[in-house]
Amino acid sequence: MEVKLWNDKREREMYDNLAELFAIIKATEKLEKAYVRDIISGAEYETECQKLIAQFKTLSSTLRDTVPNIERFHDTYKMDCPAALNRLVTSGVPATVEHQAAAAMSSVSSAAVVAECVQNFITAMDSLKLNMIAVDQVHPLLSDLSSSLNKLSILPVDFEGKTKMREWLSRLSKMGAADELTEQQARQLHFDLESSYNSFMASLPTGGS
């Protein structure tokens, strides 16, 4: 005996859509696994993933009254498709696009920190040239420089600039705020700043690397 799941054309269409939603989630899970295992190329993955995401968005919009919660639908039918849920519901874009965006953000962030370091180096050196040698004038500048250098992940822990700034900050912290650097100390600090700046610029990756 044949059991009908629907009573009219409208119900039949709803069940067809539910089956299609189920299929899209399953297909996305397989696609994610294939990409992670390097079975398909990034370009192939991205094309197929964008297609599945578009289909998913269209269907989930159509079924929003019947399936208001995709996670509940997933759990009800015991689908076990966590990667698909992440891609379709949480992310909404292919992994390749996510990675490109993350790389771009990282690049922009690093460029901003590099600019900050350069500015702090130049400000500190210029201040010494203007004879701003009191501890309460020098310490904040070196502190800012040290902080910006520590933000830049491409610099090693023992980078010359980091080490020298730590040494100078330690030395200054033992002096009074109104104390001033001697001519010899100011000259040495300027030399250390200039040397560290040159090392810093040499350590930056070039456009072709």
For the chain, state the CA radius of gyration: 30
Task: Output the CA–CA distances (angstroms, integers) from residue 151 to 114, 146, 162, in the order listed.
Answer: 9, 9, 11
**By the 8 A CB rule, do 93 and 53 touch?**
yes
What pTM value is reported for the model? 0.53
pLDDT in tens, the chain (209 residues): 455 555 677 888 888 889 999 999 999 999 999 999 999 999 999 999 999 999 999 998 888 888 989 999 999 999 999 999 999 998 888 998 877 766 666 666 688 888 899 999 999 999 999 999 999 999 999 999 999 998 887 788 889 999 999 999 999 989 898 899 999 999 999 999 999 999 998 888 664 44
Nearest CA among 134, 114, 132, 115 for reference residue 180: 134
Phi and psi for 6 in degrees, rounded to 5? -135, 160
Nearest CA among 66, 69, 76, 60 for reference residue 28: 60
